[in-house]
Amino acid sequence: MVKTIPESVVLINCVAYFPDGNRLTDFSIEAISDYVALPEAFVWVDLADPSDDEIAKMQEEFGLHDLAVEDARHGHQRPKIEEYGHSLFAAMHMIEMIDDKLSVGELHVFAGKNFVLSIRNGAHQPFSGVRERCERHPRMLALGSGFVFYALMDAVVDRYFPIIDALESELETVEEKIFTKGAARQNIESLYALKRKATTLRHAVAPLMEAAGKLFSGHVPPVCENSREYFRDVYDHLARIHTALDTIRETIGTAIQVNLSMVTIEESDINKRLAAWAGIFAIATAFAGIWGMNFKHMPELNWEFGYPMALTVISGICVALYVRFRRLGWL
């Protein structure tokens, strides 16, 4: 036996509208099938994080396809739009920036001739603004489920733009530090973290853009027939985001190569310094080795000023080498 849904937990809205787009009434979940059966009513139900039993209840009330329900129940779907007879099933990723990290939720939308069921899983941002926007324009809402489906998709896509802005700002911050000495390791870590974020967003955008292209050209599902131009607008937004992501990814790749080049340059500078100091000490060691030999016939060993002269020669040559290396930029 299917359980009754605890409305205080998962139900966000359950509303019926007149064909002209004006609100008809709010109603209980058990009355969904009754209003769906009315030709003069249009139903919009919004749920958040429902259980399997609650999704099964929605399937019973709306008469949803088994395969679509199975995808909504299991979640973790690749963004897609699939047609089941006269209805559609869409899976979209809802991406939010929380504490400088990306949180990925899902929005599943079932759209039929006179109903829309939206199910949010793992997402924090509500769609109350979308409903208010639609109800402020009854003429647009009169286009039916296709316009509501567009409004939900448009809201999901619009929330990608602030993330793009955040990624670009983060990338600019890292680029400013690339030529800072000693920051190479931190820069590499930041760039790879940024690349993962860009990849996460790209996984949400690219498949959805491909799917959205089928909603305004060629064979358009009946649900979306009256809203072709709106879906074309969503496609344009997705194309802009996709282009921005490609630019970000290319810039990250270039920044990584520049950062690695800076690491090589820094290592080369260190090697030059080590080589210069090694050369200086090699001269001192060479002279000390010569005068440290135990031959009997070494005149300077018995000379009164031999020791000061040796120190002077060694110091003079070392200073001359230091000045030379300094001018070459090795020290």
The DSSP string of 30-48 is GGHHHHHT-TT-EEEEEEE
pLDDT at position 9: 39
pLDDT at position 297: 62
Which of 65, 238, 75 is closest to 153 using CA atoms?
A: 238
In this structure, what are the phi and psi dihedrals at residue 220, rounded to the nearest 5 degrees?
-100, 130
Burial of residue 194 (number of CB atoms within 10 Å: 0-12, 13-18, 19+) = buried
320 CB-near residues (< 8 Å, 6+ apart): none
Can you tell me the distance from the alpha carbon of 219 to that of 215, in angstroms, rounded to the nearest whole number?
8
In order of start, what are the domains of the chain with their CATH numbers? Answer: 1-137 (3.30.460.20), 263-328 (1.20.58.340)
Assess contact for 43 and 35: CB atoms under 8 A. Answer: yes
122 CB-near residues (< 8 Å, 6+ apart): 49, 75, 94, 103, 104, 105, 106
Q: How far is CA 209 from CA 78, 80, 98, 197, 231, in A?
A: 12, 9, 25, 18, 10
**How would you write the pLDDT of the chain (331 residues) with one tens digit per residue?**
333 333 333 556 788 877 777 877 777 777 888 888 877 778 888 888 888 888 888 888 888 899 999 988 887 889 999 998 888 999 999 998 888 888 899 999 999 888 899 998 887 777 778 888 888 888 888 888 888 899 999 999 999 999 999 999 999 998 888 888 777 788 888 899 999 999 999 999 999 999 998 888 878 888 888 888 999 999 999 999 999 999 999 999 888 888 888 777 777 767 777 777 877 778 777 777 766 666 566 666 666 666 777 777 777 877 887 777 777 777 6
Calculate ∠ Cα 264-269-274, nearest 5°. 125
213 CB-near residues (< 8 Å, 6+ apart): 235
Assess contact for 178 and 187: CB atoms under 8 A. Answer: yes
